[in-house]
Chain A
């Protein structure tokens, strides 16, 4: 058993930013574990642009964005162990890790940052009926094959789900010479950015079929086609609207799920709305000294936002490791009000707020000319107008840290959205 100040689990954008921030906050003994052979998480396979506009004020590709942080990690001489899987995390912050190089080891950490990211929803979770041939892949798996390994998972492709990964993969597959027949979306709106709808689908005349879903998969050995049908307001397929697409591949971009198996092992409380840990404004989970950030906390749209959040977690972990003192439990509960789902953080300690507090959430539906309001014990403390809010874009409201001095002893903060 080795004693250490901070263990960071995950070397994607969240873990990298947390590590850099913790080091910059003065933490000497920290260690970052990454399961893959290289750092960067999902970024090395995201070869498109659109990263870094907020953090670097320039538009980078995923590998470039990752490299900036990897360089920083190396410059700060932060110890990193790739090819290492964390098998267990306990409530008293013992981390068990294994790798071919170093075997099985245990670390007792003063603080832990959970940065394991998320996984993709699968065909099984959607319960799409039909055959079970080769050729049904999540978009992220296909993206890894194409962009990192140089293999083509398909030639004639239908994409289910219009999240950003699905849209990006439509264009990517086409750029590699595949024919992309359609992008099928269950909801009446795309969950991806408008820019991606225009520049990945519209530019190449790939149809976006809103309010449609895949109702059958054909082909005994390899996918030979899919049946697509329109859905009604209850999202149930409408009989008679079926059409068949002859394709060899179905890519799924139907949602991301935070990977919280280790969090559960550590006894960290999870929130139903986000499927991630319940955290306070310092991003500390329900287990003292364990912090969470990035997509393991809640699924983000922008890596820049992951970086901001994770740097905060890194600073908070460093402060915790330094003081080694337990913090008072946060008294101010954060609640999802009307039209709002999954506000992070779920609790605030008004007495010790150290930084401005970003409240992040998604609206429950599309709202036009909307107002988002924040109330503490029914007193409105912030209000912001939006021309449009959609579930596909996370909303961030930032409350100045000074505000909370007025609300010591308050019980409940509510965020709500109205049209």
Chain B
């Protein structure tokens, strides 16, 4: 019997878990994948929204504005890259201009600070590379960017440092009431019991909610495809540039990332399969078309990767947060499509307060908020590098040459509490393999380090768990023709 089970180790689940760790509570996180951040968290726009999109007085508007306000301090506390880079909503026509005014009115009402509508010349001065047809833009100075998977990893790492237990490859099958608490059973045959449950199961949050509540919920996967652009083009945009939103979402945008690359996307397509993260020829063509409208001189040759993510789009048009009336002790953090990332810190804090109140838990005095993170070679000064090398010569072995990631960092990413167990796990913790060669040079080295650190044979190493094996055993066993 534990106090709280958090289902799902995406940014929401990890934010809740880390906030719960501030209280005298035993907290367990169950995650079906091999790692944190494997769902929507790893493939989204990485934007901390200003908050002008959602209608005022919705959860989306409230948690967006609150989350935006909390985000910078949280990132500083956890030493996660964050940049308040301003966001623009670009208007291409008089009709768009009207929409900007509506967005501004909404934003003002929701308490979004500093909104104003900029004319063509001001927009051009702000973003010289913006599309020639852009005639005005709503400027939101609180718009920001971050790295969602790095944030999630650090939230998890910090939660674990404060005693939260993480169980991976634990796909929750059922949640049921038992003796005033909850019984949680996994597909793998494991069983857990807790006084409270947090449903942060992303696309599958509807399934769990519907097992315990009569207030049914339907979550539709809404696919978004993206292009990632080489950091050689860093500096092309300082701000995030949106188009005027449609009922399907905020539309295709272009944004710098905190890592120096740029992203263009997402498309928005409701699909049936909650696992279908394929990119499509149509989707990628649509992004290229929109990109050339938003970005004067869009460098199609600068594309280094394409990917798709699935937003958890709920049928109520808003986040579903808190206890359903007929399931006390079961806390939803469901239907967290955009601005879910932005809302995460606020949702985490809100739910932790609610749960602690309900379970009568006190704040701990021994909570350690400061992160324990390895030195990151690429962001060190010359002096910092010399000092790091003196401590660990493995910093002098640059494994990933596109992103300058050292062997010491790769080993640390495996040895930490929520350590990497896969190639993608190393990649998202260190950026090794995320650069322009996409692992062409470093994959063999990272695989060898994973083997050394984890005692694996090379053919046991996977890209992201399950059957995603990278290699086969030595070919001498294959018969010749």
Task: Tell me, in angstroms, the Cα distance from A35 to B303 when the chains sit together.
Answer: 26
- Complex contacts, B179 vs chain A, CB 8 Å: none
Q: A104-B385, A125-B303, A129-B278 are in contact. Are A134 and B468 (CB under 8 A)?
A: yes
A149: which B residues are within 8 A, CB to CB? 444
Whether B441 is near chain A, meaning CB under 8 Å from some CB there, is yes
A215 and B281 contact, CB distance less than 8 A: yes
Report the separation of the CA atoms of residues A175 and B476 in the bound assembly, to the nearest whole angstrom: 10
Instruction: Indicate if the CB atoms of A100 and B477 lie closer than 8 Å.
Output: no
* Interface set, chain B 438-481, CB cutoff 8 A to A: 438-441, 443-444, 458-459, 462-464, 466-481
Tell me if A101 counts as interface (CB < 8 A to partner B).
yes
Q: Is the CB of B227 within 8 A of A83?
A: no
User: Which residues of chain A come closer than 8 Å to B469, judged between CB atoms?
Assistant: 134, 221-222
With the chains together, A170 CA to B368 CA distance in Å? 55
| Contact bitstring A281-302, B, C-beta under 8 A = 1, else 0 | 0000000000000000000000
Report the separation of the CA atoms of residues A132 and B43 in the bound assembly, to the nearest whole angstrom.
Answer: 13
A63 within 8 Å of B by Cβ?
no
| Pairwise interchain contact A177-B476, C-beta atoms closer than 8 A | yes
Least distance between A249 CB and chain B CB atoms (Å): 9
- CA–CA, A146 and B444, complex, Å: 11
Indicate the member of A119, A127, A261 with the most B CB atoms within 10 Å.
Answer: A127
Instruction: Give every chain A residue within 8 A of B354 (Cβ-Cβ).
Output: none
- In this complex, what residue of A is CB-closest to B282? A129
In angstroms, how far is the closest chain A Cβ from the Cβ of B307? 7
Evaluate contact between B396 and A146: CB separation under 8 angstroms.
no
From 34 to 51 in chain A, residues with beta carbon under 8 angstroms from any chain B beta carbon are 35
| A130 pairs with B279, CB closer than 8 A | yes
Q: B480: which A residues are within 8 A, CB to CB?
A: 175, 177
Residues of B within 8 A of A101 (CB): 393, 396
CA distance A35 to B396 in the complex (A): 11
Q: Mark A134-159, 1 if CB is under 8 A from B, else 0.
A: 11011011001110011111110000
In the bound assembly, the distance between CA atoms of A101 and B396 in angstroms comes to: 8
In the complex, are the beta carbons of B474 and A104 less than 8 A apart?
no
Asked whether A174 is an interface residue with its Cβ less than 8 Å from the other chain, the reply is yes
Q: Does A393 contact B (CB under 8 A)?
A: no
Knowing A104-B396, A129-B284, A131-B278 are in contact, say whether A119-B441 is a contact too (CB < 8 A): yes
Contacts of B281 in A (CB 8 A): 129, 215, 237
Q: Across the interface, which residues of B come within 8 angstroms of A120, CB to CB?
A: 437, 440
Given A130-B278, A177-B478: A124 and B305 within 8 A (CB)? Answer: yes
Contact of B227 among A127, A138, A145, A264 (CB under 8 A): A127
> Please, how many angstroms separate the alpha-carbon atoms of A63 and B326 in the complex?
72
> Given the complex, which residues of B lie within 8 Å of A129, measured CB to CB?
278-281, 283-284, 306
Tell me how far the C-beta of B203 lies from the nearest C-beta in chain A, rounded to whole angstroms.
15
Within residues 106 to 130 of chain A, which ones have a CB less than 8 A from any CB in chain B?
Answer: 119-120, 122-125, 127, 129-130
Interface string of A36-72 (1 = CB under 8 A from B): 0000000000000000000000000000000000000
Tell whether, in the assembled complex, residue A103 and residue B396 are in contact, meaning their CB atoms are under 8 Å apart.
Answer: yes
**What's the minimum C-beta distance from A268 to chain B, rounded to whole angstroms?**
14
Among A102, A131, A152, residue most surrounded by chain B Cβ atoms (within 10 Å): A152
> Is the beta-carbon distance between A99 and B396 smaller than 8 angstroms?
yes
Q: Which residues of chain A from 162 to 192 have a CB within 8 Å of any chain B CB?
A: 174-178
Contact present for B382 and A104 (CB under 8 Å): yes
Q: Choose among B404, B441, B476, B477 the residue with the greatest number of A CB atoms under 10 Å from its CB.
A: B441
Distance in angstroms from A65 CB to nearest chain B CB is: 21
Please provide the chain A residues from 65 to 108 with a CB less than 8 Å away from any CB of chain B in the complex: 83, 85, 87, 98-104
Given contacts A98-B396, A134-B462, contact A119 B440 (CB under 8 A): yes
Residues of A within 8 A of B479 (CB): 177
Number of A interface residues at 8 Å Cβ cutoff, please give it.
52
Across the interface, do B477 and A177 meet the contact criterion of CB distance under 8 Å?
yes
Of all chain B residues, the one with the shortest Cβ separation from A205 is B481
Q: Is B250 an interface residue (CB 8 A)?
A: no
Contact for B478 among A100, A144, A152, A237, CB less than 8 A: A152
B119, CB-defined interface residue at 8 Å: no
How far, in whole Å, are A152 and B459 apart by their CA atoms in the complex? 9
Across the interface, which residues of B come within 8 angstroms of A204, CB to CB? 481
Q: Is the CB of A222 within 8 A of B467?
A: yes
Q: Which of A119, A155, A175 contacts B436 (CB 8 A)?
A: A119
The reply to whether the CB of B296 lies closer than 8 angstroms to some CB of chain A is no
Tell whether A119 pairs with B393 under 8 Å between CB atoms, given A127-B227, A129-B279, A130-B278: no
Query: How far is A237 from B280 in the complex, measured between Cα atoms in Å?
Result: 13
In the complex, whether B394 has a CB less than 8 A from a CB of chain A is: yes
List the A side residues contacting B304 at CB < 8 Å: 122, 124-125
Whether a CB of chain B sits under 8 angstroms from the CB of A133 is yes
A368 sits at the interface (CB 8 A): no
Interface flags for B262-293 (1: CB within 8 Å of A; 0: not) read: 00000000000001011111011000000000
* B389 and A144 within 8 A (CB): no
* CB of A322 within 8 Å of the partner chain: no
Instruction: Give Cα distance in the complex from A175 to B479, angstroms.
Output: 10
The CB with the most chain B CB atoms within 10 A, among A35, A119, A178, is that of A119
Q: Does B397 have its Cβ within 8 Å of any Cβ on chain A?
A: yes
Q: Does B177 contact A (CB under 8 A)?
A: no
- CB closest residue in chain A, given B284: A127
A35 touches B398 (CB 8 A): yes
Determine the distance from Cα of A134 to Cα of B465 in the docked complex, in whole angstroms.
10
Tell me, rounded to whole Å, the shortest Cβ–Cβ distance linking B469 to chain A: 6
Within 8 A of A (CB), among B112-158: none
- Please, which residues of chain B bring their CB within 8 A of the CB of A401? none
Query: Closest approach, in angstroms, between the C-beta of B111 and any C-beta of chain A?
Result: 40
Instruction: State the CA gap A221–B480 with chains docked (Å).
Output: 27
B404 near A87: Cβ-Cβ < 8 Å: yes
Q: Do residues A134 and B278 form an inter-chain contact, with CB atoms below 8 A?
A: no
Bound form: Cα–Cα A137–B471 in Å: 11
In the assembled complex, how far is the CB of residue A225 from the closest CB belonging to chain B, in whole angstroms?
13
A124-B438 in contact given A103-B389, A151-B459, A221-B466 (Cβ < 8 Å): yes
In the assembled complex, the CB of A77 is this many whole angstroms from the nearest CB of chain B, namely: 25
Task: Provide the bound-state CA to CA distance between A122 and B386, in Å.
Answer: 34
In angstroms, Cα B442 to Cα A140, docked, is 12
B50 at the interface (CB under 8 A from A): no
Q: Which residues of B contact A132 (CB under 8 A)?
A: 277, 279, 307
User: Is the Cβ of B444 less than 8 Å from the Cβ of A145?
Assistant: yes
Residues of A within 8 A of B59 (CB): none
User: Among residues 385 to 420 in chain B, which have CB atoms less than 8 Å away from a CB atom of chain A?
Assistant: 385-386, 389-390, 393-398, 401-402, 404, 407
Residues of B with C-beta under 8 A to A123? 438
Sample of 10 further A-B pairs with CB below 8 A, known A155-B478, A221-B462? A98-B385, A100-B395, A122-B437, A124-B305, A130-B279, A134-B462, A141-B441, A151-B458, A152-B474, A221-B464
Instruction: Sample 28 A-B pairs with CB under 8 A, ordered by A number.
Output: A85-B397, A85-B401, A98-B395, A101-B396, A104-B385, A104-B396, A129-B284, A130-B278, A132-B277, A132-B279, A132-B307, A133-B468, A134-B463, A141-B440, A145-B471, A149-B444, A151-B458, A152-B472, A153-B470, A153-B472, A155-B472, A175-B480, A176-B476, A177-B477, A177-B478, A177-B479, A178-B478, A222-B468
Across the A-B interface, the 3 shortest Cβ-Cβ residue pairs: A177-B478, A124-B305, A176-B475
